[in-house]
Amino acid sequence: MSLLQTTWSSALSPLLKNPLNNGILLQLPLLNGANIINHKLGRNPQGYIIVDQDASASFYRLAPFNHLTLALNSSANVNVSLYVF
């Protein structure tokens, strides 16, 4: 039984520690220019993934990650879904 628990622990620990598992999906509008978004993680994010957007626009991070907000600059008005982790 002890060997089984050790095997499970070594197999599951990397999966449970993966930051992608502790993210949040944000669906929001971005306006042309600077946008400050409350990401609601309660910690510094490690990144974000663009899940969906409804118009042609490019956007990029304006400032380093912090524990409250995500600052993005958008080239156009667009509705986006971002997975922040």
pLDDT of residue 12: 81
Q: In this predicted structure, what is the pLDDT of residue 85?
A: 95
Q: What are the structure tokens assigned to 57, written together?
A: 């626009």
Residue 35's pLDDT is what? Answer: 98
pLDDT score of 3 more than 70: no
pTM above 0.85, yes or no: no
Closest CA to 60 of 85, 82, 38: 82
pLDDT score recorded for residue 56: 97
pLDDT confidence of residue 17: 84
Beta carbons of 29 and 78 less than 8 angstroms apart: yes
Q: Is 54 exposed, middle or buried (0-12, 13-18, 19+ CB in 10 A)?
A: exposed
Task: Report yes or no: 19 and 85 within 8 Å, Cβ to Cβ.
Answer: yes
